[in-house]
Every structure is written in structure tokens, then in C-alpha cells.
Amino acid sequence: MKTISCMNIDEEQLYSSGGEVKQYKKGELVYREGDHALYYFQIKEGKVKLNNYDDEGKEFIHNIFGGKQSFGDSMLFLDKFYPTNAVCIAPAEIIRVPKDRFLELIKKHPHLSLEMNACLSQRLYFKAIMLQNIASLNPISRLTGLLDYLKSYHDDSCGSCFQIELTRQQIANLVGLRVETVIRALKKMEKEGNITIENRKIVY
């Protein structure tokens, strides 16, 4: 099953532009909400979630990224602070390139700028889809919207065989539901034949 990556720049190009590899432990912050954007980040291995918390301490996950994907890119073009945290949800190796060197890189290679525009457009699409589904009061509609979006980034030639690599809690935080509600909705979806559960993994 082929994953369609978002921004994935050749690693040698990143190293030649001052990139360095940093090791992170599970649970370690890459950056914190309110920090200045100083680097371009691209994941070699591991997973990173973008999140923040409301006044009551409830977590909301904005997105989850894996190997050969980048995150926090859009803030490199704005004089703003990060609106989210970036937290490793698995041990990770991440290439980071200083902002000024990264901007020089995409100026020298216009095709990278076009790829970045496509990447940012994908993320705007994700936001639009998620906002539309979160507005629904129907938990199954919210979950179906998320599953459709995640599956759209994969080769679906095998039909209903896409495995969701997220925990129930991560899914709940992505769609703004309680984990108990997600579990009940998933059971109903399984009963109706919309998904299958294999070794606790959701297959869609």
C-alpha cells in the first residue's frame, strides 16, 4: 500500500542546505505552542502529532505526520508564533533546516516551491473536510469523514483494506469526540459492514 507523502525533499538537498538530524524520544516536544518558527522539519522515522489544549485541559489533535513528511512549514512564511505543539508520539529522527537556509533552497529550486504549494493545499483541504464533519452532530458522519480523508492518501486498489494506524484516543482527539463515543460508533459501523476490526486495528 503506497502512502502519498506531502512535502518530502531529498535528504541530501536538506543536508547540503545546513540540515541536521535530531533524535527525539516518545512524548518529547519538537516545538511548543507560542514558539517562533525557526526551522523546516522533515521526519526520517517516527510520528509527530500537532496538538493543543483547551481551558479545561482537553487535547485536540490537528494532524499526525509520519516518515518522509514535513510539518510546521506554513509558519516559515509568516512572522507569527506556532499555534500548536509538535509532539513525538513515537521515537523519531527529524531533519531540521534553519529557516533562512530553507528559504534559499526553495528559491534555487522552484519545483520545491510548487510541491510546497501542493502540500499546503492538501492540509487546507484536510482542515475544510474536518471542519465540515466536526460540525455534524452525528459521530458516524465525523468518523466517516476522517476515514475517507485518511484513505484518500493511499492506493485503494485493494478495496476495503486500508488499515488505520491511529489509536481510539487519537481518533477521538482528531474529530472532537469522547473516546467512549468513538468506540460505540465504530462498533455500530462494524455491525453495519462499513469497517472491519482486525487485531484491534480498524480496516476501511
Are 62 and 19 contacting, i.e. CB atoms less than 8 angstroms apart? no
How many other CB atoms sit within 10 Å of the CB of residue 149?
A: 17
Report the relative pairing of strands 48-53 and 59-65 from DSSP bridges: antiparallel
Which pLDDT score, from 0 to 100, does residue 127 have? 76
Nearest of 63, 44, 167 to residue 123 by alpha carbon:
63
Which pLDDT score, from 0 to 100, does residue 2 have? 35
Tell me the C-alpha distance between 159 and 34, whole Å: 42
Which pLDDT score, from 0 to 100, does residue 155 have? 57
Which pLDDT score, from 0 to 100, does residue 3 have? 38
Which pLDDT score, from 0 to 100, does residue 158 have? 63
Which pLDDT score, from 0 to 100, does residue 149 have? 78
Cell matching residue 151: 484513505
SS3 1: coil
- Would you write out the chain's pLDDT as a tens digit for each of its 204 residues? 333 446 789 999 999 999 999 999 999 999 999 999 999 999 999 999 999 998 888 888 888 888 888 998 889 998 889 999 999 999 999 999 999 999 999 999 999 988 888 888 877 887 787 778 778 889 999 999 888 877 876 655 566 788 888 889 989 988 889 999 999 999 999 999 999 998 888 999
Which pLDDT score, from 0 to 100, does residue 153 have? 64
